[in-house]
Amino acid sequence: MSAMAFMQCLVMCIFLISGGTTTAAATSRPEPIIELPAGVGEDHWYCESWKLAVENNNAGPWDQETCEDFAKSYMTDYRYLSDSMAVASYAREYAVSVNVTHRDAWIFDIDDTLLSRVSYCDELSVKSAGFKNCKNSSLDDDDFDLPSLPASLQLYKTIQKLGFKIFLISERKQSQLNNTVKNLCKVGYNNWDKLILRDTCDEDKSSLVFKSEKRIEVVEEGYILQGNCGDQWSDLLGYATAVRSFKFPNLMYYTK
């Protein structure tokens, strides 16, 4: 018996032993492995899948659409905090594996990475602006005061102790410098190496272009970008990307 004939015979035997049949019914579409519950909870299942697509950057620019209530619920309960802790733990695991030198740098975004705007955006949504409009809101007021994201604060302190050079790159305007420094220090962030904000010449640039350009400047100064943390893909992608990038969850808004 030839090798080909033997293989054909083997396949047929396995097929028949497993209960197969050569009838037309055997060629019909197989039953799905998992049946989703019908009726109750269909919107919830859709929004869970939407969340996965968003966090993997498969959705592209998005708003909450029918998932705004889901997004609000996620961002204001333990799931958001738990997912943030998971991201921070992976970043910490990588950071401690690096043999840190004076040239190794770590980049952090500020809003919704180091500082949390969840309460601020939640207040806007109560006023019917919605989470999706939060990215267009202004923090120019003199009295804005945001809390830290606990997972990020712990990670920041670890990165600092390990000896990385820390660069903060934010889309905030240069006019917000004093308030930003005051807010960061108040909640426990300090002793970073450089804080980079948007200047007037950066106003028309997308977040992706602006942050890429600033990372290039850091690299041109002789630093190695070992890590980068942000809540938007535009914080992490583009040019001069870090060896490892870590995205914190955010279902409130999308920034290009």
Tokens of 176: 């917000």
Q: Is residue 17 part of a domain?
A: no
Tokens of 175: 């006019």
**Whole-angstrom distance, CA of residue 53 vs CA of residue 58:** 5
Mean pLDDT of the chain: 85
The domain of 138 spans 63-247
When divided into structural domains, the chain yields a total of 1
Sign of the dihedral defined by the CA atoms of residues 77, 81, 86, 91, in that order = positive
The structure's pTM equals 0.82
Q: Is residue 227 part of a domain?
A: yes
Q: Choose between 185 and 10: higher pLDDT.
A: 185
Q: Which CATH number covers residue 188?
A: 3.40.50.1000
**Whole-angstrom distance, CA of residue 210 vs CA of residue 169:** 9
Let me know: does 131 contact 253? Beta carbons within 8 Å.
Answer: yes
Per-residue pLDDT tens digits for 61-109: 887 777 888 999 999 999 999 999 999 999 999 999 999 999 999 999 9
The helix (run of H) or strand (run of E) holding residue 169 is strand 165-173
Q: Is residue 3 part of a domain?
A: no
Q: Is residue 120 part of a domain?
A: yes
Residue whose structure tokens are 């921070």: 88
Q: Is residue 29 part of a domain?
A: no
Q: Is residue 16 part of a domain?
A: no
Q: Is residue 74 part of a domain?
A: yes
Q: Is residue 129 part of a domain?
A: yes
Q: What is the DSSP letter of 111?
A: B
